């Protein structure tokens, strides 16, 4: 029998429209003449979804009792007996509650598929088994209903039903997903913009991985062994020239053509200082590549083409973007094809894009080089060997005169200077010797003989040689200074790169180690601390370190790969100094963090002494004066006066008792000694006593508490004290156009109690300060207590495993949100 096909509609969150799309597909199939039934659907009270059920054949649900409650679920046997061509099955990850059948709905679907029935189903990304823990970490909502990844990946088609996070929140706010009573809690919890954005990204990435898996399966089934690069890794080679911006933007466009494309940029500096760049331009290009979402790297290499290709292979780059040569045709003809041709020759299976740019002007003469490379030596010898015969031929064609010998000598002298400038001392000495011999043979009598008959001829030859040597020495010295200056510039650029990585927020030690490996083209670099901690970059394998350098008294730096020349040691010493400074800074930071709690405790202690010295003195003084007056026999008080004095003493002593109680509670909270007795209680067990204690009624505040809330875990006494404090603050600070609101709701297994006021509110920057002990935000008098109410309330909430946070009230004001965990067991609320 032909097995049915499974098509799954995947959503990032509830309400994106999976069920709606499934029902629309059912109507389309029905219109096309297919036999379609609706096996099971969950409309969740959504009117647009429920309207689409009309017109589809609905298989009656199976009714049964579970723990004394009448429930219903999909009747798999009835669907098999009906034997439609296509069945619509909602919520693939659903857990069956009835007995005698499969545990999970996806198992029922497998039975339908084996019977040859095509199935269209729905599932949310949070129900995929491999993603459940990730979703729980992001949203805080645990998932009890999951589906194995293998089952979902075995589907014949998976389609993403996508909706932007803001569009989903708008749909929720319009009441199209949940009833009005659940909208506020949902927007503040599961449906936060950050949560929805993360869930959408997870869904897209999981689906992209599914496409990759399907592609690998296809290649395996068809015996395709060649590499198919479906995810591009584009590397851009930067020279430090103005064309870098053009190359980076071209590379970013290439990387964006495929899903998951990666962009990186690399700049190569040579240890001999041959490569010059503009540091400011290179710094701007580094910022640009980071804005484009890529990464920047700087390496040192003897040969630029080899270093680029090796780094590209190490980074698994699939495409390499380089700029067209800025040299003229003459320079190319004299010194070879250049770096671009070398990169193309070495690239192998890496695609190379040579991008034209405004700086690629072939009409420019080659820039003079300051270092005497092999090519310059060869050019000097070539000029000496070819320039002499050409100059001799030219001079021989000139008419002879009395001053001809002067012209000949100066011409050959100019040739010697040119050779010295081009190739240095050795080609210049050769040119001087050949010039002297040529002058003696062709232009000095007796002609066509090499005879030094006159002492002046020997002097001329010696002068030629001395001039050649002097010019060559000047050229060599200039080359060495230029090399040193360029080397210093390269080292400065390297150190700027390292410092930039740290300043941009990267871990200092890790950034320094990574940049050391990349800059010196090492196999691996490891920073080993004496306590056993290791910060490493690269894979050294089983090879021992080539170099080990001490980093302060407590660590060492191990280098793997090539031996570093002496020219690299100076920059390495600077990096070692930065590593030592980073280690010292980390040590100081750790010690400072240890002293932080002590300083905070000292601050609290000082505030406590001030509070005891002022706020406690006021009620104590009033009570003392009242009692002293009553005990005095010098004055006769009337009954009314005695009653007033007794009331003053009673009020003062009660205020004093409350202040002392709050101080003791703060001490217990800060010491971690708060006694919490958690039991399963209802919302009414907290709110009703709090309202009785404050004496508030309908004229004072609005109450919005549903009657079907589940019990939750909390200490009833502490929770009541929190609510009393919040209500008192709302009445004291929230004088606005509306009465405060006391509301309660439940979401994702947690109970939330909200106290909403419409007063001036609290600025975002001060919301954390209102929970600090001895702070009275906005109070200008000293008659409102010690400022411990919110500090105690948050401590009580955290002691019960909950939280207390402040949010802005829409339209102005402050909303205090008390969140407490639900009671364990079957009563725990599941995620929608």
Query: Would you say domain 679-821 falls under CATH 3.40.50.1100?
Result: no
Kindly report the three-state secondary structure assignment for every residue of 57-107. EECCCEEEEECCEEEEECCHHHHHHHCCCEEEECCCCCECCCCCCCCEHHH
- Window from 268-277, 353-362, 676-685, 712-721 with minimum mean pLDDT: 268-277
Residue 266 phi, psi dihedral angles, 5° rounding: -135, 140
Angle at 621 between CA 619 and CA 626, to 5 degrees: 95
* Every domain range in the chain assigned CATH 3.40.50.620: 233-355
What is the spatial distance between Cα 734 and Cα 727, in angstroms, rounded to a whole number?
A: 10
Residue 822: DSSP 8-state: B
At residue 784 the predicted structure's pLDDT band, cuts being 50, 70 and 90, is very low
In angstroms, the CA 244 to CA 265 distance is: 10
**Beta strands, E only, 149-261:** 157-161, 233-238
Residue limits of CATH 3.40.50.300 in the chain: 6-221
Q: List the structure tokens of 30.
A: 């029905």
Rg of the chain, C-alpha, whole Å = 42
Among 757, 17, 330, which Cα is nearest to 25's? 17
What burial letters (b/e) apply to 221-247, b meaning 16+ CB within 10 Å? eeeeeeeeeeebbbbbbbbbbbbbbbb
For residue 748 the two structure tokens come to 């994702």
Q: Which of 179-193, 217-231, 786-800 has the lowest mean pLDDT?
A: 217-231
Q: Give CA–CA dist 803/677, Å, rounded.
A: 17
Largest CA distance in the chain: 152
Query: Which pair of structure tokens corresponds to residue 136?
Result: 């729980």
Contact of 346 with 309, CB cutoff 8 Å: yes
Fold of 233-355: Rossmann fold (3.40.50)
Do 821 and 749 form a contact (C-beta atoms < 8 A)? yes
Q: Is 788 in a helix, a strand, or coil?
A: coil
Task: Place 83 in a pLDDT band, splitting at 50, 70 and 90.
Answer: very high
**Given this model, what pLDDT does residue 565 score?**
72
The SS3 call for residue 40 is strand
Q: What are the structure tokens assigned to 464, written together?
A: 């030629």
Lowest-confidence range among 18-32, 465-479, 576-590? 465-479
Report how many helices (DSSP H) and strands (DSSP E) the chain contains, helices first. 25, 24
**At a CB cut-off of 8 Å and minimum separation 6, what does 632 contact?**
none
Q: Are 147 and 104 in contact (CB under 8 A)?
A: yes
3-state secondary structure of 779: coil
Q: What is the pLDDT of residue 197?
A: 85
User: Taking the alpha carbons of 359, 365, 370, 376 in that order, is the dihedral positive or negative?
Assistant: positive
Q: How many other CB atoms sit within 10 Å of the CB of residue 217?
A: 11
- pLDDT of res. 622: 74
Q: Output the CATH code of domain 6-221.
A: 3.40.50.300
Q: Using CA atoms of 445, 451, 457, 460 in order, give the dihedral in degrees to the nearest 10.
A: 110
Let me know: does 316 contact 261? Beta carbons within 8 Å. no
Spatial distance between the Cα atoms of 652 and 630, rounded to a whole number of angstroms: 15
Whether 538 and 523 have beta carbons less than 8 Å apart is answered as yes
* Top-confidence residue, 340 or 606: 340
* Cβ atoms of 13 and 197 closer than 8 Å: no
Q: Which of 579, 443, 417 is nearest to 514 (CA)?
A: 579
- 118 neighbors 142 (Cβ within 8 angstroms): no
CA distance 815 to 7: 45
User: In terms of DSSP bridges, do strands 524-529 and 702-704 run parallel, antiparallel, or are they unpaired?
Assistant: unpaired
pLDDT at 72 over 90: no
Q: Provide the residue count of the chain.
A: 832
Distance, in Å, from the CA atom of 420 to the CA atom of 522, rounded to the nearest integer, reads 38
Burial of residue 81, with CB atoms counted within 10 A of its CB: 0-12 exposed, 13-18 middle, 19 or more buried: exposed
Structural contact between residues 512 and 498, judged by C-beta atoms closer than 8 angstroms: yes
Distances (CA, A) of 214 to 153, 209, 221: 9, 9, 11
pLDDT > 60? residue 290: yes
pLDDT band at 799 (very low <50, low <70, confident <90, very high): confident
Residue 512, C-beta contacts closer than 8 angstroms, at least 6 positions apart: 498, 501, 502, 527, 575, 578, 579, 582
Q: Is the pLDDT of residue 208 over 90?
A: no
Instruction: Output the average pLDDT for the chain.
Output: 76
Q: Can you tell me the mean pLDDT for 40-55?
A: 88
Which residues are within 8 A (CB) of 444 and not within 5 positions of it... i.e. 6 or more apart?
405, 457
Interhelix angle 566-614/508-519, rounded to 10 degrees, is 170
Separation of alpha carbons 104 and 147, rounded Å = 8
**Which of the four pLDDT bands, split at 50, 70 and 90, describes residue 775?**
low
Helix axes 193-221, 165-173, angle to 10 degrees: 130
Q: How far apart are CA 521 and CA 315, in angstroms?
A: 13
Beta-bridged to residue 543, according to DSSP, are none
* Closest by Cα among 578, 591, 568, 556 to 509: 578
* 20 or 153: which leads in pLDDT: 20
- The 3-state secondary structure of 672-689, one letter per residue: CCCCCCCEEECCHHHHHH
Average pLDDT over residues 454-467: 70
The predicted-structure confidence for 690-739, as pLDDT tens digits, reads as follows: 888 788 877 788 888 888 888 888 888 788 888 888 888 888 776 666 78
Q: What's the token pair of residue 824?
A: 């364990």
CB atoms under 10 Å from CB of 715, counted, come to 21
DSSP 3-state of 660: helix
pTM, two decimals, is 0.38
To the nearest 10°, the Cα dihedral for 94, 97, 99, 102? Answer: 10
Q: Each residue of 228-278: pLDDT tens digit?
A: 555 678 899 988 887 888 888 888 888 877 656 788 899 887 655 444 456
The pLDDT of residue 783 is above 50: no
The residues, ordered by sequence, that sit 6+ positions from 507 with a Cβ below 8 Å of its Cβ are: none
What pLDDT does 828 receive? 39
Q: Which residue has the higher pLDDT, 115 or 464?
A: 115
Task: For residue 484, give both structure tokens.
Answer: 């040193």
Residues of the chain with CATH 3.30.565.10: 679-821
Question: Which of helix, strand or coil describes residue 712?
Answer: strand
Q: How many CA atoms lie within 13 A of 125 on its CB side?
A: 28
What HEC string does 229-278 produce?
Answer: CCCCEEEEEECCCCCHHHHHHHHHHHHHCCCCCEEEEEEEECCCCCCCCC
């Amino acid at each position: 029998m032909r097995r049915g096909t499974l098509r799954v509609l995947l959503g990032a969150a509830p309400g994106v429209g999976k069920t709606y799309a499934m029902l629309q597909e059912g109507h389309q199939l029905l219109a096309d003449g297919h036999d379609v039934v609706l096996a099971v659907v969950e409309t969740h009270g959504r009117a647009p979804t429920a309207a689409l059920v009309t017109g589809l054949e609905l298989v009656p649900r199976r009714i049964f009792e579970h723990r004394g409650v009448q429930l219903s679920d999909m009747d798999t046997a009835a669907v098999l007996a009906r034997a439609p061509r296509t069945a619509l099955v909602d919520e693939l990850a659903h857990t069956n509650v009835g007995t005698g059948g499969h545990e999970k709905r996806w198992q029922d679907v497998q039975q339908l598929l084996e019977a040859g029935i095509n199935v269209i189903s729905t599932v949310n990304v949070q129900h995929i088994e491999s993603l459940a823990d990730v979703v729980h970490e992001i949203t805080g909502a645990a998932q009890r209903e999951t589906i194995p990844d293998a089952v979902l990946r075995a589907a014949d088609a998976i389609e993403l039903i996508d909706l932007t996070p803001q569009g989903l929140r708008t749909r929720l706010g319009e009441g199209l997903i949940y009833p009005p009573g659940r909208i506020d809690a949902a927007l503040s919890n599961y449906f936060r913009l950050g949560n929805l954005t993360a869930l959408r990204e997870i869904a897209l990435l999981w689906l992209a991985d599914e496409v990759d898996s399907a592609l690998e399966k296809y290649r395996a089934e068809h015996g395709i062994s060649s590499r198919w690069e479906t995810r591009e890794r584009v590397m851009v080679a930067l020279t430090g020239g103005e064309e870098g911006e053009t190359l980076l933007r071209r590379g970013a466009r290439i990387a964006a053509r495929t899903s998951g494309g990666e962009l990186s940029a690399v700049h190569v500096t040579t240890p001999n200082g041959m490569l010059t760049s503009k540091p400011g331009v290179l710094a701007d290009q580094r910022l640009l590549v980071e804005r484009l979402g890529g990464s920047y790297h700087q390496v040192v290499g003897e040969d630029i083409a080899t270093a680029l290709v090796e780094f590209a292979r190490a980074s698994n780059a699939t495409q390499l973007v380089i700029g067209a040569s800025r040299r003229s045709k003459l320079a190319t003809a004299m010194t070879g094809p250049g770096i671009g041709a070398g990169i193309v020759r070495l690239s192998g299976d890496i695609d190379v894009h040579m991008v034209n740019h405004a700086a690629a002007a072939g009409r420019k003469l080659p820039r003079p080089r300051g270092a005497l490379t092999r090519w310059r030596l060869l050019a000097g010898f070539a000029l000496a060997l070819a320039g002499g015969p050409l100059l001799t031929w030219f001079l021989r064609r000139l008419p002879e005169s009395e001053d001809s010998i002067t012209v000949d000598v100066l011409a050959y002298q100019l040739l010697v200077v040119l050779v010295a400038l081009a190739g240095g001392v050795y080609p210049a000495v050769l040119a001087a010797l050949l010039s002297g011999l040529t002058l003696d043979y062709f232009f000095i009598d007796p002609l066509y003989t090499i005879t030094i008959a006159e002492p002046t001829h020997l002097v001329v030859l010696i002068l030629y040689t001395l001039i050649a040597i002097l010019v060559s020495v000047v050229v060599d010295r200039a080359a060495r200074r230029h090399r040193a200056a360029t080397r210093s510039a390269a080292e400065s650029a390297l150190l700027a790169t390292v410092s930039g990585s740290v300043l941009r927020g990267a871990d200092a030690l890790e950034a320094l180690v990574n940049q050391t490996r990349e800059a010196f083209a090492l196999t691996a670099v490891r920073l080993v601390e004496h306590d056993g901690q290791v910060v490493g970059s690269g894979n050294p394998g089983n090879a021992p370190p080539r170099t080990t350098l001490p980093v302060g008294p407590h660590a060492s730096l191990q280098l793997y790969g090539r031996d570093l020349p002496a020219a690299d040691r100076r920059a390495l010493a600077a990096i070692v100094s930065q590593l030592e400074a980073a280690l010292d800074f980390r040590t100081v930071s750790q010690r400072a963090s240890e002293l932080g709690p002590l300083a905070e405790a000292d601050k609290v202690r000082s505030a406590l002494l001030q509070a005891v010295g002022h706020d406690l003195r006021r009620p104590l003084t009033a009570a003392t004066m009242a009692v002293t007056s009553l005990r005095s026999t010098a004055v006769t008080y009337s009954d009314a006066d005695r009653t007033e004095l007794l009331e003053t003493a009673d009020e003062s002593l009660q205020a004093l008792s409350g202040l002392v109680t709050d101080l003791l509670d703060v001490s217990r909270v800060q010491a971690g000694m708060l006694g919490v007795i958690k039991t399963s209680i209802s919302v009414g067990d907290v709110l009703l006593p709090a309202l009785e204690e404050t004496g508030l009624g309908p004229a004072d505040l609005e109450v919005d508490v549903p009657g079907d809330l589940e019990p939750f875990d909390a200490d009833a006494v502490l929770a009541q004290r929190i609510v009393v404090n919040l209500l008192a603050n709302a009445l004291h600070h929230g004088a606005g156009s509306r009465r405060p609101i006391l509301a309660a709701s439940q979401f994702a297994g947690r109970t939330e109690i909200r106290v909403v006021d419409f007063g001036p509110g609290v600025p975002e920057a001060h919301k954390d300060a209102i929970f600090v002990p001895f702070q009275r935000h906005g109070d200008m008098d000293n008659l409102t207590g010690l400022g411990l109410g919110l500090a105690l309330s948050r401590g009580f909430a955290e002691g019960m495993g909950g939280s207390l946070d402040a949010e802005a009230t829409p339209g102005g004001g402050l909303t205090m949100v008390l969140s407490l965990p639900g009671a364990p067991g079957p009563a725990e609320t599941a995620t929608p």
